[in-house]
Copies of this chain bind each other. A is one copy, B any other.
Amino acid sequence: MVPKGAADRLAYLLKLIASGPPRFALGELALRADLPVSSVHRLLQVMLRSGLVERGAGQSYRPGRELHRLASQLVARFDLGRSARPLLQDLVEQFHETAVLCVYSPAQRRAIISEMVHTPHPLRFAVERGGEISLPWGSLGRAVLAFLPPGEIEAVMRENSTGPLTGRARSTRKEMEAELAAIRVEGVARYYDPAIDIAGVSGPVFGAEREILGCIGVTMPSKRYQLHLEDDLALAVRGAARRLSEMAAISHS
């Protein structure tokens, strides 16, 4: 479960630190990491030496300036969230429904809501930045799932066997594969489930080498789904996703 070997563990701890609080204690980190305190301590010494973490007031640690510098360098090259924002705003203006950007994390095999522009409608979903999206359900998840490498799809399907909202068993492997194939052909994932009053359309976003980065989607109560000219919506969503993919490709060339 927990990584073994100094290098593996350093990478593991870095992720925990980046996603953790701005100040943390040794013991607390050891607990989150599920590692012996002395081992975490030794690795923190390494990170201190390289500036990736620093000491704070009292006896606390914090992400270091070198880590922030490293992050800035990467984000300066291309910031998916920032680039997506105007596209999301356009979608909301056009359809008056909530538009979101999801980013996919291959290591955790999870999709996370990264950016979001809300609909003006008072009835909307309580999605929030940082919220997790289940890959096998909903348009957002499936827009990503459909474009994962085959082996990864298998793994995701094994891990998530029941739905997060409905709790009911998912469709069979075969049905699902057919649905994903359809998504690959059309270039967007549609979802419509009156039972839980949710609907949406999402398009995949790719990186410079056509690896999947996430998706752009528009979600709404299923009641409002029919009101839209569905093909217009699908066209616009696919267009936005493709534009974003192009921007990612250009910035990495």
Query: What's the number of copies of this chain in the assembled complex?
Result: 2
Q: Closest Cβ of chain B: how far from A49's Cβ, in Å?
A: 7
Asked whether, in the complex, the Cβ of B209 is within 8 Å of the Cβ of A66, the reply is no
Partner of A72, one of B15, B46, B79: B79
Q: Closest Cβ of chain B: how far from A214's Cβ, in Å?
A: 9
- Is A43 engaged at the interface, CB distance under 8 Å to the other chain? yes
Residues of B within 8 A of A209 (CB): 56-57, 62
**Which stretch in A5-13, A164-172, A177-185 binds the other chain?**
A5-13
Asked whether, in the complex, the Cβ of A11 is within 8 Å of the Cβ of B47, the reply is yes
By beta carbon, the residue of chain B nearest A81 is: B72
Residues of B within 8 A of A107 (CB): 50-51, 66
Asked whether, in the complex, the Cβ of A11 is within 8 Å of the Cβ of B50, the reply is yes
Map CB proximity to B onto A46-69 as digits: 1 under 8 Å, 0 otherwise. Answer: 110111101011000011111111
15 A–B pairs (Cβ distance < 8 Å), ordered by A: A3-B50, A6-B6, A6-B10, A8-B49, A18-B70, A18-B73, A51-B107, A56-B208, A56-B209, A62-B208, A65-B103, A65-B104, A68-B80, A71-B74, A72-B75
- Is A252 engaged at the interface, CB distance under 8 Å to the other chain? yes
Chain A residues near B (Cβ < 8 Å):
3, 5-12, 14-15, 18-19, 22-23, 43, 46-47, 49-52, 54, 56-57, 62-77, 79-81, 103-107, 112, 114, 207-209, 211, 213, 252-253
Q: Closest Cβ of chain B: how far from A33's Cβ, in Å?
A: 13
User: What separation, in Å, do the CA atoms of A79 and B76 have in the docked complex?
Assistant: 11
Q: Closest Cβ of chain B: how far from A67's Cβ, in Å?
A: 7
The list of the 8 closest CB pairs from A to B, nearest first, reads A51-B107, A71-B71, A6-B7, A71-B74, A11-B50, A6-B6, A22-B252, A7-B10
